[in-house]
Structure 1
Amino acid sequence: MAQEAAEAKIKALSAELKLLRKGLGIQAKTLPSLVGEQLREVCGVQEEDSPGTVRGKVVETLRRLIEKLPESHRGTARIVLGFGTGANERYTQRLERLGTGADRNVRTMQRRADDVIYLIAEAAFGAPWPYAGAAAASDGPWHTSALAVRLTLTGVAQAEVFETRRVVSHVAGLADVEHAISLAGPARTTGQPDLSGLGIDVVAGGEVHSVRMVSSSRVAFSLRPPQPLDAGDEHEFFFRIRLDELPSPFYCCTPEFPCESFDLNVRFDRRKPPQRVWRIDGEFSKDAQDPLPARKPLFLDNAGEVRTGFRDLRPARSYGVGWQPAS
Structure 2
Amino acid sequence: MEGREDGQGARRRDAGNDAERDQRPQNAPPPRAAVLHHETPWGPGAAGQGARPGLELRLHRARHGPPPTAAAVYQDRHDAGGRAGVRVAFDSHAHLQDPAFERDREKVIARAEEAGVSGMLLCGYDTHSNLETLAIAAGHPAVFAAVGFHPHEAKDVTAEMLETLAGQAARPDVVAVGEIGLDFYRDHSPQDAQLRVLKAQLEIAEAVAKPVSVHSRAAEDACLEPLSAYAAGRGWAPGTPPVGIMHCFGGTLEQARRYVDVGFLISIACPITYPSNEESRRMAAGLPLEAIVVETDSPYLPPQKLRGRRNEPANVWRAIEAVAAARGESVASVAAATTHNATRIFGVTLPTKVGIS
Q: What TM bracket, shorter-length normalisation?
A: under 0.3
TM-score, normalised on structure 1?
A: 0.22
Structure of higher RCO (CA pairs closer than 8 Å, 6+ residues apart): 2
Relative to total residues, which structure has the larger helix share, 1 or 2? 2
Relative to total residues, which structure has the larger strand share, 1 or 2? 1
TM-score, normalised on structure 2?
A: 0.21
